[in-house]
Structure 1
Amino acid sequence: MGPVAALSALGDRTFGSLRRHRNYRLFFAGSGISFIGTWMQQIAAYWLILELTNSPVAVGALALVQTLPVTLFALVGGSIADRVDLRKMVIACETTMGIQAALLCFLALSGVIAPWQLYVLGLAQGVAVALNAPARHTLVFQIVGRDDLTNAIALSASLGTTARILGPAAGGIVVAAFGPGVAFGLNAVSYAIVIAAILAIRLAPRPQRTAPLPGILGSVGQTFRYAVSTRRVAVTFFTLILVSTFSFNFDVLLPLVARLTLDSGAQTFGLIASVFGAGALTGSLVLATVGRTRMLLVLVGALGFGALQLLLARQDSLPAVCGLLYLIGIFYIIWGSSSLATLQLAAPEHLRGRAASLYFFGFMGGAPLGGLIAGSLTAHGGTRLAFTVAGAMAILIAGVGSIVLLLGRSARARRPRTARESAGV
């Protein structure tokens, strides 16, 4: 096979879900525009609350109100997603977030916006995200099927990380040139685009359920039982929630790195956030090309994510910060996207939405506590202390997860394999 043919085959493998599924192409295009708008709004909101209060703790508090609903409602969102028309659920949530962005735009442009309004509307956004995220990822599964799921998750991650590059950079420029209100308005427009794309998707009916689902609380209980159903799923879930809580607080820390560590403004904030996104994009394309889910990727990703944060803690120059954030972004995607694929692929059909919600509960459920911890550590010891604690915790958690898996493997080696284990469950 010549070089051109090899590159063509590699491209077909990397972008297989886009090539094979019209519905996924529509979903991908609309989501890409919306994700850029969302990151522009995040840059604007965090910078605005910092300008209004000049308080690192206030930035953490805004992260708290945006992520607390995920802790409370993500598993409920997964239970609902297993019961209803996924497309209608996603459209309802996207519409709610579009209205929230439009209200922020009006308040900011009219000059009457206050911190409490950012908190209230941030809370509304958080509730919509908590309900929307499990439905979106279950919809992706319905669109592409089991065989292309890992590839589609990685490509969706590449979309989100491309938005991390373009959105913060554009957001920093827009905020610096026109103010936060314009960034909020552009995000409101982006929601209209993604809603139109989802309306254009043609879907076959979901398989009929053979047994009635339990009530919402019973469904949440089933989700937690699934989380500990096997050693592989349990290690994935607990690694996810603990690393996310203690080590993934970049929404809080990056504006503080820009202002306090680098003594710069909104454009530097946009730049370093974009560099992190560039690394995440690289990681997602690598994972899309691999196209398979391995437990090793979850643990190695978490380990590298932590080790690089220990190095980042000591840096106070823009080039060094950018270089390390790029590498951190690669390991972040390897860890996070592999976790999502592991949880979804291990779940039976009737738990598909709840498996996705378990990922978002794990990834964002600890963020309210994590954001406050990161803000408080920065207030007491600067970003150096915050990144040191984050890096050490990620390394510790990945190490414990590896030991648990090795102990399980040793135990299985000492006894006859069951039919369930032989099937790879």
Structure 2
Amino acid sequence: MSTLSLALRARTFRSLGEHRNYRIFFTGQLVSLAGSWMQNVALAWLVLELSGSPLAVGALVFCRFVPFTVFGLAAGVLADRIDSRRLVMATQGAALLVSIALAVVTLTGTATLPVVYVLAALGGVTLAFDAPGRQSLTYQMVGPRELPNAIALNAGLFNGARVIGPAIAGIVIAAFGTGVCFVLNAFSFLAVLAALASLRQDELHFVERDASTRVVEGLRHALAFVRRDPQLRAVLTVVTIVSTVGFNFHVLVPLLAADTLEVGPEGFGLLSAIFGLGALVGALVTATFRRASWRLFATGATGFGVLALALAPVSNAVLAGALLFGLGVSFTLFAANANALVQLAAPDHLRGRLIALYLFAFVGLAPAGGLLTGWLADLGGTSLAFAVAGTTSLVTIAVASIRRARAQTPGSAALSRS
């Protein structure tokens, strides 16, 4: 192995090498996230089996992500008030119970669309409170210097699981049905719960907390901070628009597999895995950079827009897979840099709330986005939905970059973060 390869490897995985707590948590997450992706695929396929409707899949996304809309910002205030590790343990335990319930109703043949939607919404509630706690815990495990690297590695872990989970899910669904996927996911939560219990409290980075913060007052302070930071405001605006209109993969990929390409559950699992592989590669590439930047963020948005437009007219499975790989790379480049830019701008006492604002921008309007994408696919197939997603991404990042460039002056703080 060359000196350059060794240096790149050390730079890419430096958070894992330097922080024991993060290594343990990372390992537990590897198992748990693979199970979660199996469940994501199984849920979408179960809804298609029960309904055969694109709009029904869009409604599933609505149910899964509407809790972010309702509870996401309040969850950020909670994350600033209480211990992050205890919060994540509680949310993971609740998610385990949801998976058990999904397994029971599916295996007993009592699953109906209303029941599945209710359980998906309950899972969404656990995720809404889990996400800001998990992000805050990452900061505590690695500190500010290694935070961009850890965020990229988390994205790599998430998308590595996106490769493994859907691929296994496609095989399991074809062989045994969706219920077994829910059972396997329930067992996978034990790994992350064990990891959380093993963290050393004295090795966590100290974070200032305000246990007296009220929800409305706390959110008002966070929004005032965002208004005073032009780059932070621009990042959150772009993330809100592009994510809502473009990042509805839970709707588009199953419809692409079932209706446009007609490749069945195995093909659906493979296409999801290919997208995840691209996102994993994008995360590893992002981890090699020393810092997050607007330039990388804009590159990810532009690449996503171009590739989504290219995918719109495609009806060949091989070509669709190649383009989904590229979309995965662009997606992670965009999301990891956005996440890091927001967290690095956040003071300790506002960290949970700013993370919650980012997550709200990323998935808070996903219920509306899922319904919009389902409606577009119902109206003009996945071709129309991908075309709208690509165009929206390109226009949004172009306008934001132009406005940012005009607002900059030589020597400004914004320019120093480019």
Q: Which sits farther off after the overlay, 224-233 or 39-48?
A: 224-233
Structure-2 separation of matches of 1:381 and 1:422: 42
Aligned partner of 1:389 in structure 2 is 388
Aligned partner of 1:379 in structure 2 is 378
* CA root-mean-square deviation: 1.6
Deviation readout 1:291-339 (Å, 9 max, x if unpaired)? 3111111112111111110000010001110010001111100100100
Query: Residue 71 of structure 1 is aligned with which of 69, 75, 78?
Result: 69
SS for the counterpart of 1:290 is coil
Shift of 1:211: 6.6
SS for the counterpart of 2:55 is helix
Structure-2 separation of matches of 1:6 and 1:326: 26
1:219 alignment partner AA:
G
Query: Residue 47 of structure 2 is aligned with which of 46, 49, 54?
Result: 49
The answer as to whether partners of 2:95 and 2:123 remain within 8 angstroms in 1 is yes
Shift of 1:206: 6.2
Structure-2 separation of matches of 1:36 and 1:316: 29
- Gaps of at least 5 residues in structure 2 are none
1:25-424 residue pairs with structure 2 within 5 A? 25-204=23-202, 207=206, 209=208, 213-409=212-408, 412-413=409-410
The answer as to whether partners of 1:46 and 1:59 remain within 8 angstroms in 2 is yes
Deviation readout 1:144-193 (Å, 9 max, x if unpaired)? 00010000000010000101101100011111111111000000011111
Deviation readout 1:58-112 (Å, 9 max, x if unpaired)? 0000100100111111111111111101111000000000000001011111111
Structure-2 separation of matches of 1:210 and 1:288: 29
How many residues align structurally?
417
Shift of 1:5: 2.2
Shift of 1:421: 6.7
Deviation readout 1:346-387 (Å, 9 max, x if unpaired)? 111111111211221111011111100100000010000000
1:366 alignment partner AA:
L
Shift of 1:122: 0.6
SS for the counterpart of 1:341 is helix
**What TM-score does the superposition give when structure 1 sets the normalisation length?**
0.95
Q: Which sits farther off after the overlay, 129-138 or 224-233?
A: 224-233
Shift of 1:139: 0.2
Shift of 1:403: 1.0
> Percent sequence identity over matched residues?
40
Structure-1 separation of matches of 2:346 and 2:357: 11
The answer as to whether partners of 1:282 and 1:330 remain within 8 angstroms in 2 is yes
- Gaps of at least 5 residues in structure 1 are none
Structure-2 separation of matches of 1:229 and 1:267: 49
Shift of 1:228: 2.4
1:302 alignment partner AA:
A
Shift of 1:423: 8.1
Structure-2 separation of matches of 1:197 and 1:68: 29
Structure-2 separation of matches of 1:272 and 1:397: 27
Structure-2 separation of matches of 1:342 and 1:156: 15
Structure-2 separation of matches of 1:422 and 1:313: 36
For the structure 1 residues 423 and 306, does the alpha-carbon distance in structure 2 shift closer, same or farther, using more than 3 Å as the test? closer
Structure-1 separation of matches of 2:212 and 2:339: 23
Structure-2 separation of matches of 1:104 and 1:57: 21
The answer as to whether partners of 1:242 and 1:366 remain within 8 angstroms in 2 is no
**What TM-score does the superposition give when structure 2 sets the normalisation length?**
0.97
Structure-2 separation of matches of 1:19 and 1:154: 15
1:132 alignment partner AA:
D
1:262 alignment partner AA:
L
2:347 alignment partner AA:
P
SS for the counterpart of 2:2 is helix
For the structure 1 residues 122 and 210, does the alpha-carbon distance in structure 2 shift closer, same or farther, using more than 3 Å as the test? closer
Query: Residue 12 of structure 2 is aligned with which of 2, 14, 22?
Result: 14
Aligned partner of 2:21 in structure 1 is 23
The answer as to whether partners of 1:68 and 1:368 remain within 8 angstroms in 2 is yes
